[in-house]
Amino acid sequence: MLVLENVHTHYGKIEALHGVSVEVKKGEIVSLIGANGAGKTTLLMTVCGSPQASSGRVILEGRDITNEPTSQIMRSGIAIVPEGRRVFSGLTVEENLHMGGFFNTKAEIRKSQDHVYDLFPRLKEREHQRAGTMSGGEQQMLAIGRALMSKPRMIILDEPSLGLAPIVIQQIFEIIGQLREEGITVFLVEQNAHQALNLADRGYVLETGRIRLHDTGKNLLANPDVRNAYLGG
């Protein structure tokens, strides 16, 4: 579904990714874990074309998207939930969702909206409330719901657990598991390594711009190096 081949990404002269290769297969949940500054977000942004990879290739469903503009990539069956939620705080929940289905027809929007409300009944309750007035967990639900509005075949989540209470994190991860059952491929970037690896089919460990380890989620959880570095021993 999504393949990164030996991708290098630069911010100006600084190289943030030193030849990263990652593959996400259809229907999988793949987790990418790593410490602060390892390049996790950079990797995601490279997939979205902002910044674009300076060398290597990014292939989405067999199509080379390395040099396509962001707006083009984001309209081709892939959706991202950006780090820190970034909901439109002045808009209501419903309006936020409609923004997510910006390029769809009205009928499609209505259908995906109902679907999102099924997934997150809490959002239905808050339909006409301004997004900025909701709690962090609700905003995260809204951010995921908004990404789902474009009916993506693949969804990328950047640190969905950031700054949330443990019980809310639990709910969010349950929803992510539910997405897989609906046939949506999930690429998950997390600092919360335990939860992320538990849920994932496969996982990658990113360290200072390089992939250090690559294995199934269960094996990575058992790996002593990973336990030491990310799971607190």
Partner 1 sequence: MAAQNLKHALFCAFITIIIAYPILGLNLVAEGTSVKLEGANTATVVNVFLAAVAVFLFQVFRDNIMGVFGKVPNLNPLANRGPVSQEKRLLMERVFFVAIILLALVWPFIVSRGAVDLATLVLIYIMLALGLNVVVGLAGLLDLGYVAFYAVGAYTFALLSQYFGISFWLALPIGALLAALFGFVLGFPVLRLRGDYLAIVTLGFGEIIRILLNNWTSLTGGPNGIGGIPDPTLFGMEFGRRVKEEGNVSFHETFGIAYSGEHKVIFLYLIALVLAIFTLLVIRRFMRMPVGRAWEALREDEIAARSLGMSRTAVKLSAFTIGAFFAGFAGTVFASKQGFISPESFVFLESAIILAIVVLGGMGSQVGVILAAIAVTILPELAREFSEYRMLIFGAAMVLMMVWRPQGLLPMRRIQIEIKEQG
Pick from 82, 122, 171, 214 the residue near partner 1 by CB under 8 A: 82
Q: Is 103 in the site for partner 1 (CB under 8 A)?
A: yes
- Part of the chain binding partner 1 (CB under 8 A), chosen from 77-85, 162-170, 181-189, 210-218: 77-85
Cα separation, 130 vs 127, in Å, equals 8
Shortest distance in whole angstroms from residue 51 CB to partner 1: 13
Tokens of 224: 């002593």
Q: Is 128 in the site for partner 1 (CB under 8 A)?
A: yes
SS3 for the chain is CEEEEEEEEEECCEEEEEEEEEEECCCCEEEEEECCCCCHHHHHHHHHCCCCCCEEEEEECCEECCCCCHHHHCCCCEEEECCCCCCCCCCEHHHHHHHHCCCCCHHHHHHHHHHHHHHCHHHHHCCCCEHHHCCHHHHHHHHHHHHHCCCCCEEEEECCCCCCCHHHHHHHHHHHHHHHHCCCEEEEEECCHHHHHHHCCEEEEEECCEEEEEEEHHHHHHCHHHHHHHCCC
Shortest distance in whole angstroms from residue 36 CB to partner 1: 19
Tokens of 163: 């700054």
- Part of the chain binding partner 1 (CB under 8 A), chosen from 6-14, 25-33, 111-119, 143-151: 143-151
Q: Is 74 in the site for partner 1 (CB under 8 A)?
A: yes
* 98 Cβ neighbours under 8 A, 6+ residues apart: 109, 113, 149
Q: Is 202 in the site for partner 1 (CB under 8 A)?
A: no
Nearest to partner 1 of 11, 103 (CB atom): 103
Residue 59: how many CB atoms within 10 A of its CB?
15
Q: What is the x/- site pattern for partner 1, positions 34-73, by CB under 8 A?
A: --------------x-x------------------xxx-x
User: How many residues bind to partner 1 according to rule CB under 8 A?
Assistant: 32
Q: Is 135 in the site for partner 1 (CB under 8 A)?
A: no
Nearest to partner 1 of 19, 77 (CB atom): 77
- Part of the chain binding partner 1 (CB under 8 A), chosen from 15-23, 124-132, 164-172, 202-210: 124-132
Q: Is 163 in the site for partner 1 (CB under 8 A)?
A: no
Nearest to partner 1 of 21, 129 (CB atom): 129
Task: List interacting residues with partner 1 (CB under 8 A).
Answer: 48, 50, 69-71, 73-75, 79-82, 86-92, 95, 98-100, 102-103, 125, 128-130, 146-147, 150
